[in-house]
Amino acid sequence: MLPQKQRENTSCTFLGPNLPDVWVLSENTSPHTLTTGSSQSADDGHSATILEGTSIATEIKLKVAEEISRMKSEIGKFPKLVMVLVGDRRDSHRLIDVKLEACEKVGIEIVVSKLPENCTQKELLDVVSSFNDDKNVHGIVVQLPLPQHIDEEIIMNFVSPEKDVDGFHPLNIGNLAIRGRKPFFIPGASKACIELLLNHGVEIKGKRVAIIGRSKIVGLPTSLLLQRHHATVSLLHAYTKNPEQITSEADIVVTYVGIANIVRGNWIKKGAVVIDMGYNEIKDPNNEEFQSTGDVCFEEAVKVASAITPVPGGIGPIIISMLLSNTLDSAKRAFGMF
């Protein structure tokens, strides 16, 4: 049994309470009960709570805008984000447009630094270097993917960890992995996942979490962040045999795989919480139009889970708001406002 004091401390503050790493022999052998559990069966018309993200995103953006407005009036300064774009990929342009609009709405100055597809690695490093040195720049995002002739690792490692608002620098990932350490930034998708869970009152401490997909931008950092929140995390990937055996024992299932409907209803434990971070476009055979969908077969999972994110409108909108929040945090640190 945990000491009384620890057992009472069930509220999760952001980044998780740094509780002592003490292994206490447990005499509790009672079966696991879910906080968010449902006693209804899949056949009784049960439908999960929909974990809608748009209103949370709006709330975060409002808060960020308020803080920036106060910052401007108090010290006459504001956050500045630089997006570095190499080449002319349409999908990159689309993503940058979304970020541009979001930044402008909350009062973050955003500059898009464009380099031609055939620029050299040295030229790109020089550009990043100038932003690293520029005290007026608080966040640097190098839009991925980069052209083949440029070494992505060298570029990403070169971004100052103190301006790495995407949180992908190995120093930030390392400090996220080590409990008690404080990374400058945590990747937006992982922060969005935690925010959604906490916002809907889902307890994380002591829960079993299955994360499907171990990408460095979503699965890996999300596993590290949920571990900090004292979840017991299993990280599943392409080489996992019978992944449904693990997911069907998890209280929380997080997916970022990139295959529509890979996670079926029978992968989910009754009453579990499902966070679908996937985004896939599939063709409707009836009208040949594309539909966006996640990794989870929503129609099946919604009958089993106690709560589930929709795609679109779930985790997606929160991710962008986390980029804004990270940029604001960076500016506050630079202005000594923490």
CA distance readout (Å), 129 to 142, 158, 159, 326: 12, 8, 8, 20
Using CB under 8 A as the binding rule, whether residue 235 contacts a copy of itself is answered as yes
Is residue 270 flagged as an active site residue?
no
109 beta partners: 80
Using CB under 8 A as the binding rule, whether residue 172 contacts a copy of itself is answered as yes
Q: Shortest gap between Cβ of 16 and a copy of itself (angstroms)? A: 11
Residue number with CB closer to a copy of itself (239 or 338): 239
Question: Which tokens hold the place of 179?
Answer: 């409990």
Residue number with CB closer to a copy of itself (46 or 205): 205
Q: Shortest gap between Cβ of 50 and a copy of itself (angstroms)? A: 26
Residue number with CB closer to a copy of itself (30 or 287): 30
Using CB under 8 A as the binding rule, whether residue 171 contacts a copy of itself is answered as yes
Is residue 99 flagged as an active site residue?
yes
Is residue 143 flagged as an active site residue?
yes
Catalytic residue among 80, 99, 207, 269: 99
Using CB under 8 A as the binding rule, whether residue 297 contacts a copy of itself is answered as no
Contacts of 281 by beta carbon, 8 Å cutoff, 6+ apart: 290, 291, 292, 293
Q: Shortest gap between Cβ of 58 and a copy of itself (angstroms)? A: 33
Q: Which of 160, 232, 248, 280 binds a copy of itself (CB under 8 A)?
A: 232
Residue number with CB closer to a copy of itself (257 or 331): 257
Using CB under 8 A as the binding rule, whether residue 85 contacts a copy of itself is answered as no
Do 140 and 159 meet the contact criterion of CB atoms below 8 Å apart? Answer: yes
Residue number with CB closer to a copy of itself (223 or 321): 223
Q: Which stretch binds a copy of itself (CB under 8 A): 89-97, 130-138, 178-186, 298-306?
A: 178-186
The footprint of a copy of itself on residues 238-257 (CB under 8 A) is 238-243, 245-246, 249, 257
CA within 13 Å, CB half, 209: 29
Q: Which stretch binds a copy of itself (CB under 8 A): 62-70, 212-220, 264-272, 281-289?
A: 212-220
Do 59 and 52 meet the contact criterion of CB atoms below 8 Å apart? Answer: no
The footprint of a copy of itself on residues 11-40 (CB under 8 A) is 21-26, 28-29, 32
Using CB under 8 A as the binding rule, whether residue 44 contacts a copy of itself is answered as no
Using CB under 8 A, list all residues that contact a copy of itself.
2, 21-26, 28-29, 32, 153, 169-175, 177-181, 205-206, 208, 213-216, 220, 224, 227, 230, 232-243, 245-246, 249, 257-259, 262
Residues involved in catalysis:
99, 143, 166
